[in-house]
A = this chain, B = another copy of it.
Amino acid sequence: MDNTDQTPTLRRRLIAGCTWLLLAFIQSALAEFQPEPVGKIETLPAAYPDHWVMVHDFSFFHMMEGEVLVVDPLAENQASQYKGMMTASFIAAYQRARERNEHYVIETFYSRGTRGGERTDVVTIYAPDTLAVSGEVVIPSKRITGMPKQIATGLINGERFLGVYNFTPAQSVSIVDLENRQFVGEVTTAGCAFVLPNGVRSFTSICANGTFLTSHLNADGTLKDASRSAVAFDANNDPIFEGAAISGGVAYFPTFTGQVLPVDISRDEIAVEDKWWLTTTDERNWRPGGMNVATVDAAGAGYFLMNPDGGEGTHKDGGAEVWVYDLDQGERTARITLTNWGLSLGTTGTGDGRLLLVTNAEMGVDVYRLPGGEFVQTLDTGAATPFMVHGAN
């Protein structure tokens, strides 16, 4: 007899009962056979090998079904590369706190999916071993959505706070207390965008007029006060990219034409340093370009994705080479010719196990060894639009 009014709990018991009845029947008929266990779920090591990567598939053609894949980039085939997955709804952002050993997916849901309804923005917390949701913090439904920028979110005060850049188009940053897993409040950043953590408990935003705005937080995550830099770059004629190579307490921002603007972020008040060129005067046709055009490896070397056909409007076109720099000296140390045209850079690993990950123009992710730049393979993870790759190191 069917009972459509049964409670979920009762139904669950009935279901389990039916399953075990069936198994019992099979087993009684075949006393010698030992069935395989049902219900086993895989887990991962709580400390990932430091060459693993998190591949963020933005799923540009189905934005509500983005994913962050946990991947071993040195494994030989799909089955061994693909370790697991976190869902990431509506062109989400991703952060990872190494000390807390947690993944954060900053994402957006609608009560009626892609046709709308009530919007809910959350910081979803994942445990690295189980890839299960270990918590979530609801934040104001204002987070910026669009193409991926790593500094759309940032870990402030070590890993105490997570800042989430909002754009409604009013500009602000939501502060989340990761210790207590609760929303603290919003910090206004009028005219300025993003969250670049600096000093003890501050973060810096990039302003449309070419200045920087630094917000200083109190110990509870509320705004103490703010300071603004002088004009540091020409936001119209030679703007800095949103993504910097950060090493030794300095954020090295490439500009559209191929200069580098170093910003010391080691102290509560930032210090803008002198620009230098990625290119010699003979190389000005080479310009940085792509999605994530600048990164560093565990040894502090800087990597920039370079396009030989640089010019107005090429800043998202990606590049044919990755140029390697001693950032502190402002000197190029190597050029890596890419096997496939590159669009976005990431690194992972430490020591001799360092790797460069390049999302290529065909939406594959290419793996190169560092420092030599030897091509290893193109990943086979099934990601449709893997715009960003994050190292586990």
Q: Which residues of A contact B (CB under 8 A)?
A: 1-4, 6, 11, 15, 59, 61-62, 64-65, 87, 89, 107, 109, 111-115, 117, 120, 122, 124, 133, 142, 166, 168-172, 186, 188-191
Contacts and interface: CB of A to CB of B under 8 A. Distances in A.
Given A64-B113, A89-B113, A109-B113, 16 more contacts: A2-B189, A3-B170, A4-B186, A4-B188, A15-B169, A61-B62, A65-B114, A89-B112, A107-B113, A109-B111, A109-B117, A111-B111, A111-B120, A112-B122, A112-B124, A115-B124
Contacts of A87: 113-115
A2 B172 contact: yes
30 contacts: A2-B170, A2-B172, A2-B188, A2-B189, A3-B170, A3-B188, A4-B166, A4-B170, A4-B172, A4-B186, A4-B188, A15-B169, A61-B62, A62-B64, A62-B65, A64-B65, A64-B113, A65-B113, A65-B114, A87-B113, A87-B115, A89-B112, A89-B113, A89-B114, A89-B115, A109-B113, A109-B117, A111-B120, A112-B124, A115-B133
Nearest to A190: B2
A59 B188 CA distance: 40
A165 to B, nearest CB: 12
A1 B190 contact: yes
Contact of A11 (B1, B62, B168, B171): B168
Nearest to A6: B170
Contact of A59 (B3, B62, B191): B62
Nearest to A5: B186
Contacts of A107: 113
A87 B114 CA distance: 7
Nearest to A61: B62
A112 B186 CA distance: 23
A120 to B, nearest CB: 7
A124 B113 CA distance: 12
Contacts of A170: 2-4, 6, 11
Nearest to A115: B87
> Across chains A and B, which 4 residue pairs bring their CB atoms closest together, nearest first?
A2-B190, A62-B62, A4-B172, A89-B113
Contacts of A169: 15
Nearest to A188: B2
A11 B191 CA distance: 16
A88 to B, nearest CB: 9
Nearest to A1: B190
